[in-house]
Amino acid sequence: MNTREILIMAASGLLLAGLACLPLADEGFWLTLGISLAGYVAMSTAWALFSGPTSYVSLATAAFFGTGAYVVVNLGETAPWPAVLVVAAVCGALLALLAGMATLRLSGVHFVIFTFGLAELIRQLVTWYQTNIGGAVGQYVFVDISSAQIYWQLLALCGLVFLAGWAINRSRLGLALRVIGDDETVAAHSGINTARVKLLLFCISGAFIAVVGAVLAPRWTYIEPSIAFNSMISFQVVIMALLGGSRRLWGPLVGVIPFTVLYELISGHFPNHTHLLLGTAFLLIVYFLPQGVAGRIEQLRLRRTHRETHAARSPATLGETAR
Amino acid sequence: MLFLILFTSLLLGGAYALMAMGLTLQYGVARIMNLSIGETLVGAAFAAFWLQTQAQVGPLWGLLVITPAAFVLNWLIYRHLLTPLVRRAKNRGMLEVDSILATFGLLFILQGVMLALFGGNYYSYSYFSEPVELFGHTFALNRIVAFAVAAAVALALYLGLNRTRTGTAVRAVSVDPVAAGLVAIDVARTSALAFAIGGALTACGGALLSMFLTFNASMGVVFTMKALIIVIMGGVGDPRGAVIAALLLALAETTVATLVDPGLTLAATYGLFVLILLFRPQGIMGRRTA
């Protein structure tokens, strides 16, 4: 770790501590907004851990999220809370393992298609199980957790996701992942087991998202499959991560805040027009911000340093400095 | 029972096949993974509904309006929305990601417009809904008519692709766009044509489905999913594979719906998909790529 990294770590730690004071100031609107922001930051950063470097667009977010929520439905009242979160993480990783094993040795398109319907598939299976084998379709969740505690858990989770992303970036795994993203054939030829690397990262990403689902589950009190496995979550997470820029660890963070605020505003005032908002956002990103805000900032910075070095070398400026 | 399942799935498979042939042209030739294809289908279903109930034009005559309209619309979409992406992409993978995201945008915008126009209710209309006795079982006449039309359109497409110069050009671009350019095929124009024909076929399938299925504005995603799985199953770019896979999918769905539970049709679809991914990822008619 160099000085710069220590400084960034310290600053992020302070920022997290500062954000953790929010419930002391307000228990209403701002805390609710804080919870949804923290949840989306954790999910879209976890999404970008896998999909950023590999460019495999995963639409399985809602499936992981719902799996986490359903772990709480089944275990929340009997098992201790930390154990519930661990089980949720394991279930998320297992689901990612199954989906990944079927698709990740093939091309990206197979993967997109498979994840596209995954949440809907699990929703159908859960509904079918509940109507035909056991229990009612909707269930109540009685877990004694306050909103402030949910918020703190999500903040801690955000910290964990960022730490994990930072650790992966500087490890052999991160390097392997970047090579795969640049050229999968080259990666395979230089001895990287591409399928295994992708699978591992997908499992890590899935586990984090499942934990977000578990932490957020007590907020609903009543859960049914169509709430937990709502495929809109998948699309929102993709847009937020891409808007911010999925190639940088801090990219999704930049995308989450404006999009969540805009989405809340639109769904509050024009509930029927959220689809149009999502559609327009997708098109705007593809045509005007293909690398996201983070990518655009980097591009501008690169262009400036390029211009500066270029200007320094040109004879005209040399003459000026000599004078 | 067996005969009933086989015949019902054959009748359903006809409309699926049109949609899947449309997607296989769009993805296999124009190289655009069109995830808004289900919305094209549902849009055509709404158009047929509107023509039947408001303008008193039956869906069979309506096809003569809907199909050309879809052709023009998809041509415009390819020319103005997707060509910049094709130009920008450095390789096939980049175009795939870009086209997936752009057509997501289209998906939501089309769905948003249909929701604004028709709301979230289910729609259906009655057309040729008298019963027909066939081999001791009763079927609705509209299903049989829809299947006959679908079969005729599929046959026309097959002949067009295999017996005309334009069709040969389309198949050449599907095999290798660079090599097709070397033998003086206008790849950009042929791709636009394939994309537009794909959209027209899908719209045709949608109008036919609307004759016997209830539909609503947010249903497109389910059809997109089916079309995608059929295309992968049949082998990308091969209309014959799309037909076979569409019939197989309809068979799996009908079997599960009649013998097990109608709520598990998607599970059946996924089961087929996983089998294909595990044992024949290049598809039934596909060739293994290097």
A282, A285, A288, A289: best to mutate for the B interface, most B CBs within 10 A: A282
The tens digit of pLDDT for each residue in A1-54 reads: 688 888 888 888 888 888 888 887 777 888 888 899 999 999 999 999 998 888
CATH number of the domain within which A160 lies: 1.10.3470
The tens digit of pLDDT for each residue in A196-219 reads: 999 999 999 999 999 999 999 988
Q: Which residues pair with B139 in a beta bridge?
A: B132
CA–CA separation, A183 and A190 (whole Å): 11
pLDDT at B236 over 60: yes
Are A105 and A217 in the same domain?
A: yes
Lowest-pLDDT range, A23-37, A45-59, B64-78, B177-191? A23-37
Q: Which residues of B touch A61 (CB under 8 A)?
A: none
A54, A95, A109, A185: best to mutate for the B interface, most B CBs within 10 A: A109
Report the candidate in B235, B160, B201 with the shortest Cα–Cα distance to residue B171.
Answer: B160
Are A210 and A315 in the same domain?
A: no
Q: Span B67-87, mean pLDDT?
A: 93
What are the φ and ψ backbone dihedral angles of B138, each rounded to 5 degrees? -100, 135
User: CB–CB of B243/B234 below 8 Å?
Assistant: yes
Nearest Cβ partner of A106 from B98, B225, B281? B281
Are A101 and A242 in the same domain?
A: yes
pLDDT at B198 over 70: yes
A residues 202-231 lying closer than 8 A (beta carbon) to B: 231
Are A129 and A201 in the same domain?
A: yes
Give the model's confidence band at A323: pLDDT under 50 very low, under 70 low, under 90 confident, else very high. very low
CA–CA separation, B206 and B33 (whole Å): 19
Full residue range of the structural domain in which residue A313 is found: 294-323
Domain-wise residue ranges, chain B: 2-279
**What is the value of pTM for the model shown?**
0.87
pLDDT (0 to 100) of residue A79 = 86
Helices (H), chain A: 3-20, 22-25, 29-54, 61-75, 81-103, 108-132, 147-169, 172-182, 184-189, 194-216, 225-228, 232-244, 251-269, 274-288, 292-313, 315-322
The tens digit of pLDDT for each residue in A53-72 reads: 888 889 999 999 999 999 99
Give the model's confidence band at B72: pLDDT under 50 very low, under 70 low, under 90 confident, else very high. very high
- 3-class DSSP assignment, residue A168: helix
Q: Is B225 on the interface with A (CB under 8 A)?
A: yes
Are A58 and A190 in the same domain?
A: yes
The 10 Å CB-count burial string (b at 16+, else e) for A179-209 is bbbeebeebeeeebebeebbbbbbbbbbbbb
CATH for the B2-279 domain, from 1.20.1540, 3.30.1490, 1.10.3470, 1.20.120: 1.10.3470
Angstrom CA distances, A3 to A6, A8, A9, A165, A171, stand at 5, 9, 10, 19, 19
Are A310 and A243 in the same domain?
A: no
Q: Mean pLDDT of all residues in chain A?
A: 86
pLDDT (0 to 100) of residue A315 = 52
B33, B109, B229, B260: best to mutate for the A interface, most A CBs within 10 A: B109
pLDDT at B31 over 80: yes
Are A171 and A258 in the same domain?
A: yes
Q: Is A242 on the interface with B (CB under 8 A)?
A: yes
Neighbours of A79 (CB within 10 A): 15
Q: Mean pLDDT of all residues in chain B?
A: 89
Q: Which residues of B touch A289 (CB under 8 A)?
A: none
Tell if the CB–CB gap between A124 and B264 is shorter than 8 Å: yes
pLDDT (0 to 100) of residue B159 = 94
pLDDT (0 to 100) of residue A104 = 82
Q: Which residues of B touch A242 (CB under 8 A)?
A: 101
Are A203 and A298 in the same domain?
A: no
Q: Is A108 on the interface with B (CB under 8 A)?
A: yes
Are A250 and A304 in the same domain?
A: no
Are A41 and A189 in the same domain?
A: yes
The tens digit of pLDDT for each residue in A261-273 reads: 888 888 888 877 8
- Whether ipTM > 0.90 holds is no
Q: Span B64-74, mean pLDDT?
A: 95
Domain count, chain A: 2
